[in-house]
Amino acid sequence: MVTSTHEASHRIFQDHPEVLAPIFEVLGLPLPAKAAIEPVTPDATELKPVERRVDTVLRVEPSEGESFLLAIEAQTRRAPDKGSSWAYYVAYLQAKFGLPVLLVTVCRNRSTAAWAAGPFVCRVGPWTTQTTRPFVLGPDSVPKVTDEAVVARQPALATFSAIVHSESEGIAAILNVLARGMRSFDKPTAKYWSELLEIGLEDTPAKETWRELEKMVVSYFPGRGTVFEEAYLEGEAKGEAKGEARGKAEGVLRVLDVRGLAVTDDVRARISGCTDLDRLDDWLARAVTAERAEDLFVGEEGEGEGEGALGGAS
């Protein structure tokens, strides 16, 4: 059955072939420094037989060396007939395009990955006619991304890695790193990768974990309808009659309240007494991810990094 997770697991290669470079390195396969990579039709149907369709097919044309095809299949569980289907895909694509074919399967759990590696053999007695051995991208071959800097530099690889490891132990920590790394992106970029990951996790328990973390990635962007945006707008509306600054201050306090952060009288007074609209907007952005209400003021003039560093009202 085709699911959102299934589609995201292979379509990411169509839109972001840069994922292939680090993946090939993990597999020990050479990838040319310069290569043209483009999707070709995945349809493997002939005349009127049963329809057969590869998930993703890419033509790789290196600047040096021979071209080849990548046939990428996302596999969430064992399937008794897949061995013969994959053998058909490889033979058909090689015959149709006249190019060698590398079959890659993407698996989220180790047992499926071990099975998908094959070999799948067509034999009669001692005679082997064809053997299919897919390359497998699974939890044991795709590295976990545990560095925010990697997320910032290679968001496609980080997103793909999280999807592959969505059923692994420690997925919550992986998603935490991803969320923190995505905070460095601009609005469209953060929205794109955050939503792609949510789609990729569609039918996994990790989806709910990501939905909570996603709030700290994109919730301060307008138009998302998130709980924090709604909280901010609610607070702003309440204070609107008392002036724009008061409305924004109410919004900041409302976000802190929704997140369950303790707000001391000093902090409340400082926020409520601020009339600098730009500063209030900055505090709102910080309120989405701050671990303590006092973190809103860290780095401002006269503020330190330690506990209790809090100046007078703005």
pLDDT in tens, the chain (314 residues): 455 555 556 667 666 766 676 666 655 666 655 556 666 666 655 544 545 678 888 888 877 778 889 899 989 889 988 999 999 999 999 999 999 999 999 998 899 999 999 999 998 888 999 999 999 999 998 889 988 888 888 888 899 999 999 988 889 889 988 888 887 777 778 888 888 888 888 778 888 888 878 766 655 444 444 444 555 556 555 555 456 778 788 878 877 876 778 899 999 999 988 888 888 888 887 887 778 889 888 877 655 444 444 444 44
Annotate the chain with three-state secondary structure: CCCHHHHHHHHHHHHCHHHHHHHHHHHCCCCCCCEEEEEECCECCCCCCCCCECCEEEEEEECCCCCEEEEEEEECCCCCCHHHHHHHHHHHHHHHHCCCEEEEEEECCHHHHHHHCCCEEEEECCEEEEEECCEEECCCCCCCCCCHHHHHHCHHHHHHHHHHCCCCCCHHHHHHHHHHHHCCCCHHHHHHHHHHHHHHCCCCCHHHHHHHHHHHHHCCCCCCCCHHHHHHHHHHHHHHHHCHHHHHHHHHHHHHHHCCCCCCHHHHHHHHCCCCHHHHHHHHHHHCCCCCHHHHHCCCCCCCCCCCCCCCCC
**206 and 126 within one domain:** no
Task: From 218, 245, 271, give the residue that closes a domain.
Answer: 218
Instruction: Give the range of the structural domain holding residue 195, as residue numbers without chain letter.
Output: 148-218
User: Is 118 within the bounds of a domain?
Assistant: yes
User: Is 95 within the bounds of a domain?
Assistant: yes
**58 and 89 within one domain:** yes
**110 and 59 within one domain:** yes
**pLDDT of res. 24:** 64
**pLDDT of res. 242:** 53
**244 and 201 within one domain:** no
Task: From 74, 108, 137, give the residue that closes a domain.
Answer: 137
pTM above 0.75, yes or no: no
**153 and 131 within one domain:** no
**pLDDT of res. 253:** 87
CATH number at residue 37: 3.40.1350
Task: From 218, 236, 254, give the residue that closes a domain.
Answer: 218
**pLDDT of res. 118:** 92
**201 and 271 within one domain:** no
User: Is 303 within the bounds of a domain?
Assistant: no
User: Is 115 within the bounds of a domain?
Assistant: yes
User: Is 84 within the bounds of a domain?
Assistant: yes
Distance CA 32, CA 61 (A): 9
**124 and 22 within one domain:** yes
Count up the domains in the chain and report the number: 3
